[in-house]
Amino acid sequence: MRIYLIGMPGSGKSTLAKELSTLLSLPYYDMDTEIEEREKKSIPDIFTEKGEDYFRVVEKEVVHTFMPDNAILATGGGAPCFFDNMDFMLKNGVTVFVDVHEDVLVERVWEQQGTRPLLAQDEKDEVYTAIKEKRESRFPYYSKAEFTIEAGTKTPSELALEIKQVLKK
């Protein structure tokens, strides 16, 4: 089994991947970390030095070639929305959309400023606008996922249990 966790930045995919990894006794990987290792640069540095288009090409490469079996993969927020990445993931694993309300996303992204170049803003209301726009434009891709879990107020362990249940069906 290969489980792809997809969703907006701040939706808690990486934390959930760890939790699910313990619950299902499967290893987990973060695709952004894989990108950083291949490029030997942090994500913000790749964006600054090479630009988004370059980042998306590397991201596509990672989606199409980093395919451990029996593993949980947390994907970058934009990964499903470029090239044929979403279709590829649909064909090659179980896709789970971790859906979180934008108000919750804003709080998390604001707390973690500096780590997400696409959402870097000076004011919180600008972060809100950026998130709202991205969430709307990305929704058609995210909602293609095989499963969607409403994640807003639940703890990572509750969510992991929910996914385990859903996967059994």
Give the footprint of ligand S3P on this chain (CB under 6 A): 9, 32, 43, 76-78, 116-118
Beta carbon of residue 100, minimum distance to ligand S3P (angstroms, whole number): 11
Chain position whose Cβ is nearest to ligand S3P: 76
Chain centroid to CA 69: 19
Nearer of residues 44 and 68 to ligand S3P, judged by Cβ: 44
Residue number, 9 or 93, with CB nearest to ligand S3P: 9
What's the gap between Cα 24 and its chain centre? 19
CB of 68 to ligand S3P, least distance (A): 18
Taking a C-beta distance cutoff of 8 angstroms, is the pair 11, 151 a contact? Answer: yes
How many angstroms separate the Cα of 26 from the Cα of each of 16, 18, 106, 114? Answer: 13, 9, 30, 31
Nearer to ligand S3P, 76 or 93 (CB): 76
Give me the least distance between CB of 155 and ligand S3P, in Å please: 19
Distance, CA of 153 to CA of 131 (rounded, Å): 18
Extended beta strands in the chain, E state: 2-6, 28-30, 71-74, 94-99, 147-150
CB of 141 to ligand S3P, least distance (A): 11
